[in-house]
Copies of this chain bind each other. A is one copy, B any other.
Amino acid sequence: MIPEKQEVEAACKRVKPYVHNTTVLQSSYINKLSGAQVFFKCENFQKMGAFKMRGATNAILQLTEAQKAAGVVTHSSGNFAQALSLAAQNLGVKAYIVMPENAPQVKKEAVKGYGGIITESESTPLAREQQAEKIRKQTAATFIHPSNDKNVILGNASSAAELLESQPDLDFIFTPVGGGGLVAGTALAVKYFGKNCNTIGAEPFEVDDAYRSLHSGKIERNQTTNTIADGLKTFLGDINFPIIKDLVQEIIRVEETEIVAAMKLVWERMKIIIEPSSAVALAALLKNKELFKNKKIGIIISGGNVDLKNLPF
C-alpha cells in the first residue's frame, strides 16, 4: 500500500517545472518561544496560494493524452478547486469543478479566474459526489479526489522533499491534517528523504477524526465541524489512511483559541498571511514545546487563502 521511493522521486521531478520551490522562513521570536529551531515551508507562497497545486499538477501530468483531452473533474469548495483549475489551465486541460451553491462568491470567482468550469450543486457531500459523477459520465473527464488519490498524495510529497533538501537534518515535520493528502505525502518524503525524521499531524479538537482514526485503526468521521480551520473539516480515505497509519508518528490536537493565537503570532511576527488551517501545525508545536525542545522542526504552512474581510482577530 505504501508507494515506493522511486515513485515519490519521480513525482517530485515531474511537478518541479510547474510549481514554486517555495521559500523557507525562520523567526527568531518563534524559535525563542518554542525552544526549538523552526523552519516554515511557505506553501502560502505557492501558485494559487496553497500546497494543493502540487498534487493537482502531478495528478494531471499522470493522465494519458486521451484522458487529458477529456478533462478532469472534482468537487471542492476550497483550495483544491482552485488548484485543479490552475494546474489544468497550465497544462491545457479542461477542469470541471463542482461547488456547493452556497460557496462564497469570492471562491467561485477565483476558480473562474483560473479557468475552471463550475457546476453548482446542493451543499451535501452526497449531492456534490453525484453531480461530479454525472459530469464524469457526460464528459469522460477523469475524477480527481482532493486528498484521497495516490498521484495527489505523491505530488504533495514534493513540498516536504524540498524542505528536507534545504534542511536535511530535521527531527520532525509538522503538517495540518484535513483529508489526509498533505500529511500522507509529507510522511512519504520524510520516510525516504529524512534522516531519523518523523511526521507529526496536527488537528483541531473540534474535527479530530484523524486522531481517532490513528488510534482506533479505522477511518473515523466527525459528527460536527465547528472549527475555524475550514480546510480541515474533511476525513481520511482508503488510499491515504494506510500511509498515515504506517508512517505518521502522532496527531496532536489543539483548541480553537490556540489556532487563532498561533495564526495571529505568525501574522504579527513573521508578516506572512497564513490560513487558520496552517496555524494548527504551529499551535500543536507550541502546545507541546517541552516534547520538542532543542529539536529541528519543519512546519508546512499549507496555504494563505483567507478572506481579509473576515479575520478572527
A residues within 8 Å of B by Cβ? Answer: 23, 25, 28, 42, 44-45, 47, 49, 264, 267-268, 270-274, 304, 308-309, 311, 313
A271 to B271, CA, bound (A): 9
User: Assuming A264-B308, A272-B272, is B23 touching A47 (CB within 8 A)?
Assistant: no
Residues of B within 8 A of A273 (CB): 267, 271-273
User: Assuming A23-B23, A23-B25, A25-B23, is B309 touching A44 (CB within 8 A)?
Assistant: no
B45 touches A28 (CB 8 A): no
User: Assuming A271-B272, A273-B267, A308-B264, is B47 touching A28 (CB within 8 A)?
Assistant: yes
Residues of B within 8 A of A271 (CB): 42, 44-45, 49, 272-274, 304
A273 to B44, CA, bound (A): 12
B47 touches A25 (CB 8 A): no
**Chain B, residue nearest A27 (CB):** B45
Distance to closest chain B CB from A300 (angstroms) = 14
B308 touches A268 (CB 8 A): yes
B309 touches A313 (CB 8 A): yes
**Chain B, residue nearest A313 (CB):** B308
Residues of B within 8 A of A313 (CB): 308-309
**Contacts A23-B25, A273-B273, A308-B313 known; 16 new A-B pairs at CB < 8 A:** A23-B23, A25-B45, A28-B47, A42-B271, A44-B271, A49-B271, A264-B308, A267-B273, A268-B308, A271-B272, A271-B273, A271-B274, A271-B304, A272-B273, A309-B313, A311-B311
**Chain B, residue nearest A50 (CB):** B271
Distance to closest chain B CB from A116 (angstroms) = 17
Sample 21 A-B pairs with CB under 8 A, ordered by A number: A23-B23, A23-B25, A25-B45, A28-B47, A42-B271, A44-B271, A45-B270, A49-B271, A264-B308, A267-B273, A267-B308, A268-B308, A271-B272, A271-B273, A271-B274, A271-B304, A272-B272, A272-B273, A273-B273, A308-B313, A311-B311
